[in-house]
Chains A and B, each alone.
Chain A
């Protein structure tokens, strides 16, 4: 909504500068998007009169014009446009002008002829969008006058953003009312004095409303013998400043009244209406209408049309039809002003993809009053006589509503101490009539029809708050006794896991919950796998973001790839986020929080003290172990995990207390190839299960009082023997004095027979209640060694 300040001042007196006005409007709920200063850059542009046009001697497409700019001497200006003729008045940018589009005007030789200025288009002056030719100015404009003043452009325009609940603000008078309420001034609406001819409108037109629910009111006037032509400058200028293109005097008046009052109007060429009838009805299946934008539109029963005796002539409240459009040949006018049911307008407008100034207002609710203002203006600017009587079909009356309001409630909600008088004053400034119930703090408030948004007491409280000023309301804090802030236990555990991951060198990432279903193919996931139970979007933006992710892994891989492609080869990341599965028979899809991890490259680059080392399976396992440690879980185990996305020899499933929590491992070379990334390690754990399994209270265990005995053993075993098997034996044979055992060396290769490996363990023996004797530890060692060689064929090395 564009509001020229000069126009606004027709209805309300104020002295404020535009900037201050904008501030005041902003703080009372009318958002000012921008302030446009129209005259800027037009200082050296004048109104010129074309006296002569002759062809340029050296250029076919150029001509040389002689222009009178109100000075004794005329100017020769070279021009390339074709739309000018002698006698036209045009904007002339003089030497020294700096136009709003950045062009600076200097004397210029163009193909051998010197040009002393420039004739301008609307676009060059930024006063309109027309780039097709020179801007031809109205005839009644004074030659030589500064262009900006002559065109009324020494003005400021506020660009407003009107919220959908305030259709009354889509009108200059509506904004004037707001300014009046802010500045405590009464507004003056244009007075209407109609001169009617003795002929009766009713003899010319009958109006029938077939569907009063969709059209509660239809008013019309007939004006005869108008002369269609361009609008006078003042009218055309106001429309342009408010962002509308002038068309002809009659259409311009309907648009002018639309902007002034917010009431959309439509003018029909009366003589094109069949049988002098207006019927407001639903469209019939198969009916068509070509709207005035020239588009043929197919109609159906859901749409409301204005029809004559035979055919639709307008899409009610949205746009008129070509068949009854006002043209230069029109002499008699039927002027329509109606009220259409907002939801119906919105639906039709959406279905047809057709938004107009009119539909924008009807769909929010307009004030169903007033066709006379337009009739008066048409008579003023297009001549013609207004026939006697207003046709007013009003089958469903829209009455101002009355709302109860309690002053105490106002103060309870706002935290203010407003008096009854303060409240009444504010409401009355908004043109709401207040009737205080004698002897009480309660009142009845009559809401005028132009405020369809005020339906409840709380709506009135909001009005009071915004006019009183949000920033005048005193700040306080809730005085509750019952509130205790804090994290839940689960949230605390989640945070501790996150901290541990970061302390382990992993950075957090956040990726879209939306995913590309084709990524699952790249992960080599077979048909039917639960990772393919996608929740699909009905209206995705693209295939890449068309489903909800069922796993975090592809997104993490893509983060690795994004970085590797940018020469960031060392990427260690985690994400905690939701994944989703479509599940039959549930109200909502399954939604689970997962912890995803992805590692590639080295933790650290080469340093002066240490060479870089690329991460491997055991770096990933170390991170998993750190998480287990963080949540205090000792009873976890691993199991072979066969998933096509992972390297079969370097992957595992994680279990806690025999519950599967997730998996981790090296990405399968095929997946690496399909995603085109270097060697990478990934993990995905069910985060909620992790938190559930967390041991929340750690318990003190005695610090040993007696010395321990440390014994190392090195054994030679078959390469296929897993560490876990060796540990099992050591632990069971070392009981009860074995406190701890730790693998401290693993060696294959030179000096070790093919197919064998050397493993060295450090064992700590201790008794809790006494100093252990050397023989006891040595006996335990013997038992362990015997068992290892018996069970595993282990050879004891020196």
Chain B
């Protein structure tokens, strides 16, 4: 499986470490009144779709960047690769 890294170009997926659903970028607000329920959901429940799945890949054997990869879990076809930093910023998660 080849992941087309936005900075480094096409890379073998074996260079990466899989880090799970990219929903993990959306860490709940600990000050929310229902923070406990939100954290249980965040920590333990997954959508686990059969089809397109947005997921985090960490380029451990490369530039150490986190990527958000959209991959079909039934075919392994990758439709989009973005830097997780950019995705997080676009969601207002980071500056």
Q: Do these two chains interact? A: no
